[in-house]
Amino acid sequence: LIGCGVWLVGAVKYAREAAHNNQCQGNLNQLMLALLNYHDTYKALPPAYLADANGKPIHSWRVLLLPFLGQQEIYNQYDFSEPWDGPNNRKLADKINLLLFWCPSGPVHEGSLMTNYVVVVGPKTAFPGSDSTTFDDFHDGRENTILIVEIANSNIHWMEPRDLNVDEMSFVLNDPKQPSISSPHPRGPAAVFADAISAYPLDVSLRPETLQALTTIAGEEPVFKEQLLRDPPTMSRYLAE
């Protein structure tokens, strides 16, 4: 009976995590599809942020994607003449489908305004700041360039024009000391590459220099995606815990 109980607990944990994992990857897939549709419409990716006259970021790429996420009505009410946290825009923050922006495996409760999905911002990346890039700029190949990643405990409001900064982040996956590509999933954090809609879990043993190479669009570093991905954990892992 004890053995059956252990097996049942493990099976429940496995089923729950599998469901959370599927939802999380589904969110990333939706965001990537929205990026592709944005690119098809405007012939460029959205900038990481829109800036004011002084260069201060005031609107996020996540807001720019709203029409491509089935949130046109909220987008129409969004006021680009005030900052993302202005009086009008604050009222809209919880009006969208918030499930799009957070991972169910994380400690953030349902209905949170924080996001678990970000881009890497900075020079030589797909999101250099207030400027846009096109897929023609991806000299490293779209299959070798990451666009959207997971981050655990980001403390980033989904409307906030803030993401992972290439000059400040750690390129160690799940780094507990610095902002990094990270996830509560046992399978490791997922990323979406520019050549596909499907999200893939990254191998947690990925070398920092290799991960950094994946964030550039024209660094000409030799990287092969097949060596970077990790298969999802099997049920035996949960039974062993």
Per-residue confidence (pLDDT) for residue 14, from 0 to 100:
43
Whole-number pLDDT of residue 239: 34
Query: Which parts of the chain sit beneath pLDDT 70?
Result: 1-21, 106-111, 220-241
pLDDT score, position 187: 80
Q: What are the residue ranges spanned by the domains of the chain? A: 2-240
Q: Look at residue 12 in the predicted model and tell me its pLDDT.
A: 44
pLDDT of residue 159: 98
Cβ proximity of 48 and 128 under 8 Å: yes
